Amino acid sequence: MLGCAIVLTITVALFVYSPRLAVAVGAIGIGALLTMHFLDRRFAAPRIRSRNEVAAILEAVVDGECGELDWGNFIRYRIQDKALDEIRLRCARLQEACPANVSGRLFSEAGEDVLRQIIRELDRAG
């Protein structure tokens, strides 16, 4: 996000000097940002997380204490443990299926109920 703001600022500043140069720099900057984003998602090392850590993240979401940045970092990076990574993927799909209908929340009530169920599963397995 910050990278996009920087590229846009530079592009606008250059536009006064040379519109062609501004377009070229903007295109190269956006291309570089997209490439970095792809490579980061594709080749980032999986995170090492415990069941308790995953449960704590989900509890923070249900309690309204988890921000979008923290949630994005949770669903963005793979988890080394395959079972926990499957939970991460379920949560990512859940975000699309049950978007928040209240400001300041990440999920709808139905989505939070599913998260509570996942937390119970993690507690039983641990």
Q: Which pLDDT tens digit goes with each residue over 25-84?
A: 778 878 887 887 777 666 677 788 999 999 999 999 999 898 888 898 899 888 999 999
Q: Pick the more confident residue, 102 or 8.
A: 102
pLDDT band for position 113 (50/70/90)? very high
Looking at residue 48, its pLDDT comes to 87
Cβ partners under 8 Å of residue 115, min gap 6: 58, 61, 62, 91, 94, 107
Who's near 97: CB < 8 A, 6+ residues apart? 111
Q: Are 14 and 21 in contact (CB under 8 A)?
A: yes
Domain residues of the chain, as ranges?
2-43, 51-125
pLDDT tens digits, 79-111: 999 999 999 999 999 988 888 887 778 889 999
The candidate with the shortest Cα–Cα distance to 74, out of 54, 94, 90, 93, is: 54
**How far is Cα 24 from Cα 10, in angstroms, rounded to an integer?**
11
